[in-house]
Structure 1
Amino acid sequence: MDVNALSSQRRKRAVYVSLVLLGVALTVIFISLNTGTFRLPPWNVVKALFGYGSVEESMILFEFRLPRIAITMLAGVGLGISGAVFQVASRNTLADPGILGINAGAAFGLIAYISFFQKLDGPAALMIPLFTFGGGAVIALVIFLLAYDRVKGLIPIRLILVGIAISAGIGAMTLLLSLRLDEDTYAFAARWLAGSVWSKDWINVWALLPWIVVLVPIIYYRSSTLDLFALGDDTAVGVGEAVIKSRVVLLSLAVALSCASVSMAGGIGFIGLAAPHIAKRLVGPRHRHFLPVAGLVGLVILVAADTIGRSLFQPNAVPAGVVVAAIGGPYFLLLLFKTKA
């Protein structure tokens, strides 16, 4: 089979897998619209979506459930794609925003914001992604500087170890700041750290949407650069790629995307680890093929986890981060054993 035929086959497979995942995503979203504290029959949901439902049904769907589902969709896409960039640009298949400490930096930025401003709704919500991005960017810079060697570049194992150490230290500082909060704000911080999808208003959707709409196409446009990184720095340099500059740009985009996502969805880990691996197994290593699939996998995982957490454990909802961790923990151990082998 020649190169063109193989490329065409992989492209068709990527389209097919994307359509299947899109169908799965729509199914999960529809189930999520039906479930919750107030369960709505499927036909009533359809009528309400087209403007023929009762006032109560329309309010439940459009004021409570749809904004939350939109947040989980956007954040799932952001976490899945940012995880793929982290793994390739850092040359570490176990890299993830949570494992590398980026989520810890975002959490510190969020706690710093609510410690001084204590406003989480209305126009003030638009500032939350900026503070989480600032916290995540600073911590990412520190981690990458400490893991960098002038001869070897970014050392994968050092990146993981430094990320764990920095994450522990920043976590302690975040806890110290959170202890100074009032009772209600502290309860919110605790839910956020546990991975609870807290944002339930349309203003939160508009706060996150620009980050996804702008950053995801930019990353996809750099798919060829990611392919070169996957082949090795020497190959990238050989074809004229500015490796250091491109790596800094891509990692910065991944940090911004992951921090914006967790700012509205809570401190959720493992999606950025699992989604790229699943996507690569489904459609192959070409980033132009598996980046959209990684985003769809992240979307399905997060929407499903949030739906399970708030519907199967009534009356006490379980944070989506807990559901994801219950699945992601064993998957992470499996990856560790396979890498060791």
Structure 2
Amino acid sequence: MLEIQNSRKVRKVSRTLTGLTLLILFTLLVSLGLGASSLSYNRLIPTFLGEGTFKEEFVLFSIRLPRIIITLLAGFALALSGAILQGITRNDLADPGIIGINSGAGVAVAIFFLFVPIEAGKLTYLIPVVAFIGAMMTAAMIYLFAYRRGAGLIPMRLVLVGVGFSMALSGVMIVLISSTDQKKVSFISRWLAGNIWGTDWIFIYSILPWLVILIPFALYKARRIDLLGLSEEVTISLGVSINKERILLLVAAVALASAAVSVAGSIAFIGLMAPHIARALVGPRNASSLPVSILTGGWLLLLADTIGRNIADPDGIPAGVIAALIGAPYFVYLLLKK
């Protein structure tokens, strides 16, 4: 009987992953043909095969495709980061954008961009590192304020402290923006709104190593995340070093969020929604829900960016704004439910 149930679960997860993959491919195909520079769908395959005009190849390989890949990778990272945070804090409201981690990364990137003179080529690879340092410092402060001796990490306190840090860091960002020239202000403002700004192949190379390392690490730790979701007494009785595992997974979640933020701007709610959708589809076990969450996050952000860049001329609406329009009501619903 148990073998039959496990077999059914495996088939359900496989079907869900296949369905999400097909949904991503369909959205990707639609996205490739939409935009300010038109590229008809019947010309996509010939252009992929090297039979397109110069304009078609430029639009596909230099504008459209890099942006789509970066959007997918950023969505993967944000969703996995949110799933890890929700697991280790036992709080369904945890999300790197809501609890201030994205804001910490943003302030660090803004300071680096505005005040550190550096060559453009080196800047691309350094931004994820700078974002990680800023996000890690913020996460450490939030963790300290949300931790109480004898009670451990208090989930609701973590969310409230995170929201407070996010607001405070937003104030710091306003001060930074008001003290620099207009060109740089324009970039930072769009970055804050969640504009997918890293739209060249070099940005893919800068974010990809982080995901190649951290996605397998998180999947390997899936069972540990399940155990951290239990009460602390039960988790300790099973031989799990709670603080060690929490810190390791927190570092991984922060690294994923900061890598995404470094190329996609400050985007909230993807890390909140994707894990919930995944658990609704395949159940709460992280071995099943984490892969589904990753694909769901990629699809949600790709959909948000596709809608945003085609809904208004000439520059479109940042993906972060579209994600917020979808995610904010869902956050309020979860908040009232809790």
Fold shared per TM-score above 0.5 = yes
Residues 99 and 162 of structure 2 are in contact (CA less than 8 Å); yes or no, is this contact kept in structure 1?
yes
1:241 maps to 2:240: yes
Question: 2:63 is matched with which residue?
Answer: 64
Is there any run of 5+ residues in structure 2 with no aligned partner, and where?
none
Identical positions, percent: 41
Q: Do residues 97 (structure 1) and 89 (structure 2) align?
A: no
Matches within 5 A, 1:74-93: 74-93=73-92
Over 3 Å counting, the alpha-carbon distance change for 1:121 and 1:42 in structure 2 is farther
- 1:59–1:316: structure 2 CA closer, same or farther, 3 Å change rule? closer
Which residue does the alignment assign to 1:287?
286
CA shift at 1:281, angstroms? Answer: 0.3
Partner of 1:208 in structure 2? 207
Task: Supply the distance in 1 between the matched residues of 2:117 and 2:46 (Cα, whole angstroms).
Answer: 39
Looking at structure 2, the residues matched to 142 and 8 of structure 1 have their Cα atoms a distance apart, in angstroms, of 44
CA distance in 1: counterparts of 2:247 and 2:215, whole angstroms: 16
Cα distance in 2 between the residues matched to 1:196 and 1:283 = 31
Q: 1:123 to 1:48 in 2, by over 3 A?
A: farther
Counterpart-to-counterpart distance in 1, 2:48 and 2:310: 21
Letter aligned with residue 220 of structure 2: Y
The Cα shift of 1:239 comes to 1.4
Q: Secondary structure at the match of 2:229?
A: helix
User: 1:278, 1:118 → 2: CA distance?
Assistant: 43
How many angstroms does 1:235 deviate by?
2.1
Query: Shift of residue 314 of structure 1?
Result: 2.4
Q: What's 2:21 paired with? A: 22
Q: Secondary structure at the match of 1:256?
A: helix
CA deviation map 1:270-312 (0-9, x unaligned)? 0000000000000011111110100100000101110111112
Q: Secondary structure at the match of 1:231?
A: coil
Gaps of 5+ in 1: none
Residue in 1 aligned with 2:224?
225
Give SS of 2:250's match. helix
Q: Which residue of 1 aligns with 2:181?
A: 182
Mapped to 1, the partners of 2:222 and 2:266 lie a distance apart of: 27
| CA distance in structure 2 between the aligned counterparts of 1:298 and 1:8, rounded to whole angstroms | 26
1:42 matched residue in structure 2: 41
Post-superposition CA distance 1:28-56 (Å, at most 9, x none): 11111101101211111221112111111
- Assess if the C-alpha contact under 8 Å between 1:118 and 1:185 holds in 2: no
Q: 1:96-120 CA deviation, whole Å, 9 max, x = no partner?
A: 0011100110111110110223658
- Matches of 1:317 and 1:119, distance apart in 2: 30
One-letter amino acid matched to 1:65: R
Are positions 1:173 and 2:172 aligned together? yes
- Partner-residue secondary structure (3-state), 1:195: coil
Quote the offset at 1:121 in angstroms: 4.0
In the aligned structure 2, how far is the partner of 1:98 from the partner of 1:120? 29
> For each residue in 1:224-257, what CA deviation from the matched residue of structure 2 results, as whole angstroms up to 9, or x when unmatched?
1011112332222111111110011001100110
Q: Which moved more, 1:310-319 or 1:69-78?
A: 310-319
Q: 1-side partners of 2:184 and 2:290: how far apart? A: 37
TM-score, L = length of structure 1: 0.96
The equivalences for 1:95-134 within 5 A come to: 95-117=94-116, 121-134=120-133
Aligned length: 338
Distance (whole Å) between structure 2 residues aligned to residue 121 and residue 215 of structure 1 = 26
Q: Does 1:139 align with 2:120?
A: no
Per the alignment, residue 265 of structure 1 pairs with 264
Q: State the alpha-carbon separation in 2 of the partners of residues 179 and 120 from structure 1.
A: 24
Alignment partners' CA distance in 2, 1:181 and 1:48: 43
| Equivalent AA in structure 2 for residue 69 of structure 1 | I
Task: Return 330-339 or 115-124, whichever deviates more.
Answer: 115-124
> Given that residues 34 and 42 in structure 1 are in contact (C-alpha distance below 8 angstroms), is that contact kept between their aligned partners in structure 2?
yes
- Give the match for residue 160 of structure 2: 161
**Aligned mates of 1:72, 1:195 — CA distance in 2:** 11
> Partner amino acid for 1:71?
I
Paired residue type of 1:17: T
Q: 1:332 to 1:120 in 2, by over 3 A?
A: farther
Deviation digits for residues 10-29 of structure 1, max 9, x if unmatched?
12111100000000000111
CA contact (8 A) 1:97 1:269 kept: yes
Contact kept? 1:119, 1:125, Cα under 8 Å: no
* Whole-angstrom distance in 1 between the partners of 2:124 and 2:81: 22
- Cα distance in 1 between the residues matched to 2:7 and 2:93: 30
Partner of 1:320: 319
**Deviation by residue 1:125-152 (Cα, 9 ceiling, x = unmatched):** 1000011111000000000000101111
Whole-Å Cα distance in 2 between the matches of residues 150 and 50 of structure 1? 62
SS at match of 1:94: coil
Q: Distance in 2 between matches of 1:125 and 1:24?
A: 30
